[in-house]
Amino acid sequence: MPVVRDVLIWDCERRNAESGDIVIDEDGRISAVLPSRSAKGDVIFDGGGETAAIPGLVNSHTHVSMTLLRGLAEELPLMEWLETKIFPAEDRLLPRHIRSGAELAMLEMISGGTTCFADMYYFMREVASAALTFGMRAALCRGLTGDDARKLNENLALAEEFNGRDGRIIVQLGPHAPYTVPRESLARIAGIARDKNLGVHFHWLETEGELETFRNEYKISPSAYLEQTGMLDVPKLLLAHSVWHPSDELGRVNRANVTLVHNPKSNLKLGSGYAPVREMLGLGVNVALGTDGAASNNRLDMWDEMRTAALMHKGYHRDPTLVSARDVLRMATVAGASGMGFSDAGLIKTGWQADLALVDISGPRYVGCDAANLPEFLVYSGTSRDVRATVVAGKLLYKDGRYMTADPEEITAKAKEHRRDITK
């Protein structure tokens, strides 16, 4: 059986890290955590006592194929960014571009220890197929706008074809946002999600203007809107951004099936504001972490996202005790995985998926790192460049700069060509 040997193991159910070997069964689950160098089996990775093993990072809101649009529009407000730059470029995207952008994103994600992501876009068969080839875990949906039966049918066909595939793909429904989907359509989508037992991924109150629309035009509170459309009753609901969800209404979305996805860097870069994460965590809301797409971040780097999330709320509220390193590691692992519906991913324990980020802690930045302070070292000192290897469902996808399931030169060369296609 595959063994990850002699690593310093930490997940968010542990106070201190512990040295050990992680044994993986043929289904790609963790079958045991044993004392260091005691496990027998096929050693797929030897940490030599100077590697941390944490659950693979989970990017809970992104649009992977937007790597092809990276840098295309900078320093504009969200609506202008979308309408003058992003939507016209997206009109030119063909399935091959979507595939190419997704592959480019996966190279970046797995080199930084990301094992799982939630994605909303179109031509999603391409993204599903790329995730299966790379070996990543993903929750995918087709972005739905207007009252468009064709798009909804594409989303349902995606579910038919890929939901549950290899135990690594979940298909959700993807109503884009309250400003692009009419209320009746949203209610219909929520009904279908309940009937078909599918999760929903939705952009939610990213900008202040959306909140004003609820107050001035819809004349309804955002939480009541979610309740009345049935969105709060779908099996799993990912509410991306949630920057402007009123703090005094957070109790109404504090449900086991609802996850608010914090996207701090995209919100900062687009000048959207900062989400009330202090209040969310205070209430015990399930909060996950995401990068958003590469056109608005521009990195798909969960380390950068964790560090930003841990720092920004301390600064805004002038309170260094807020949003701890352990909080953000929870957001970036088990909170995201469970929010998507992967109920056995995000912890390093027997019976759970062997999804791991293996992090070199031998370098200068980690002098002083030990079993008690590992999470803080990872979040405040660590970077994605410290990731030595990435494992999903017990399979090594990346190790010491080498990709096991993809050819990075070929993917990058093709992406350069495709970028020229869509910008000429």
Say if CB 98 and CB 127 are below 8 A apart: yes
Whichever of 90 and 292 has its CB closer to Zn ion, that residue is 292
CB 198, min distance to Zn ion, A: 19
CA distance 59 to 206: 17
Closer CB to Zn ion, 137 or 203, in the complex: 203
Q: Which amino acid is at 117?
A: F
Q: How far is the CB of 272 from Zn ion (least distance, A)?
A: 11
Q: Looking at beta carbons only, is 180 or 405 nearer to Zn ion? A: 180
Give dist(CA 117, CA 43) in Å, integer: 27
Tell me the residue number closest to Zn ion, measured at CB: 292
Q: Which is nearer to Zn ion, 298 or 390 (CB)?
A: 298
Compare residues 210 and 292 and give the one whose CB is closer to Zn ion.
292
Q: Cis (ω within 30 of 0) for the bond into 298?
A: yes
Strands (E), 258-332: 258-262, 286-289
Burial class (CB in 10 A: 0-12, 13-18, 19+), 96: middle
To Zn ion, the closest distance from the beta carbon of 262 in angstroms equals 12
> How many Cβ atoms from other residues are within 10 Å of residue 92's Cβ?
11
Residue 126 or 292 having the CB closest to Zn ion: 292
Q: Provide the minimum distance between the beta carbon of 241 and Zn ion in the complex, in angstroms, as a whole number.
A: 7
**Measured from the CB of residue 6, what is the shortest distance to Zn ion in angstroms?**
40
Q: Identify the CA nearest to 277 among candidates 252, 302, 305, 312.
A: 312
Minimum distance of Zn ion from residue 365's CB (angstroms): 31
Strands 200-204 and 51-55: unpaired
The DSSP letter of residue 56 is P
Closest C-alpha to 154, from 133, 140, 137:
140
Contact of 126 with 158, CB cutoff 8 Å: no
Decide whether 110 or 261 has the Cβ nearer to Zn ion.
261
| Minimum CB distance to Zn ion smaller for 213 or for 362 | 213
**Conformation bin of residue 143: beta by default, left when phi > 0, alpha when psi is -120 to 50:** beta
Q: How far apart are CA 138 and CA 345, in angstroms?
A: 12
Q: For residue 290, how many other CB atoms are within 10 A of its CB?
A: 29
Q: Which is nearer to Zn ion, 29 or 203 (CB)?
A: 203
- From residue 368, alpha-carbon distances to 42, 62, 310 in Å are 32, 34, 20
**DSSP labels for 97-134?**
HHHHHHHHHHHHHHHTTEEEEEEEESSHHHHHHHHHHH
Compute the least distance from the CB of residue 162 to Zn ion, in Å.
21
Q: Which CB, 47 or 222, lies closer to Zn ion?
A: 222
- Least spacing, CB of residue 94 vs Zn ion, in Å: 21
Q: Toward Zn ion, which CB reaches closer, 204 or 403?
A: 204
Q: How far is the CB of 286 from Zn ion (least distance, A)?
A: 19
Is residue 174 within 8 Å of 142, Cβ to Cβ? yes
Q: How far is the CB of 61 from Zn ion (least distance, A)?
A: 6
In sequence order, the β-bridge partners of residue 251 are none
Distance in Å, CB of 296 to Zn ion, minimum = 8
Report the alpha-carbon distance of residue 168 to residue 128 in Å, rounded.
10
Which residues contact Zn ion (rule: CB under 5 A)?
A: 292
DSSP string, 379-405: III--GGGEEEEEETTEEEEETTEESS
Give the span between the Cα atoms of 114 and 355, in whole angstroms.
9
